[in-house]
A and B are shown apart, each in its own frame.
Chain A
């Protein structure tokens, strides 16, 4: 069964450092989502791509976060500089298209010290 791949699975970084996460969606899925899940809460959408275009980045803190999906396949989410409050699980999900169910990857757990 095809799955969404994410790396790294765990990342510890010091505040003010840069950090990057990678996501490889299920093959053929046009829509890719990045969510942030703070401990004890549900996931919250950061950014959504349709192919290589950003559809929704209204909740992305653009002063420090950036995301790209250059060829409409895999995607990278970057934080620079990281802050203590960025400690969370970063989830990637993909779907065949925007109206279809989303499949989630295992996530990257970020700890900022």
Chain B
């Protein structure tokens, strides 16, 4: 079955620390990849997406992600986190040619200490 795995369930960092959240998926074909973020009390928002082209994609608020096809991975990174980055982060996969359905990972809660 198609699945998405996020390695870290809960991450605690101090401000200015670097962030990397892991995401792996199990699907052999072409995929579209997404990272969504949910800030406390807010709805899910798109952070960045990869459809094709440059495997290093940049999103909002200084986030970036790298698609490594050989590793079936799409890890999220930020060089220096801020307290306002405290949120839940979800990796999602849409197997290309599919109906648009997103398969989500279980999410990673990021807590940034000021």
**Which residues of A approach B to under 8 Å, CB–CB?**
4, 31, 33, 40-45, 48, 50, 55-56, 91, 93, 95, 97-107
Contacts and interface: CB of A to CB of B under 8 A. Distances in A.
B100 interface: yes
B106 A102 contact: no
Interface of B: 4, 32, 34, 36, 42-46, 49, 90, 92, 99-102, 104-107
B1 to A, nearest CB: 12
B92 A42 contact: yes
A41 B106 contact: yes
B106 A105 contact: no
B59 to A, nearest CB: 12
Contacts, number: 55
A101 B49 contact: yes
Given A40-B106, A42-B92, A42-B106, A107 B101 contact: no
Given A43-B104, A99-B32, A103-B46, 18 more contacts: A31-B100, A41-B106, A42-B4, A42-B106, A42-B107, A43-B90, A43-B102, A45-B102, A56-B99, A93-B44, A98-B100, A99-B100, A100-B100, A102-B46, A104-B36, A104-B43, A104-B45, A105-B43
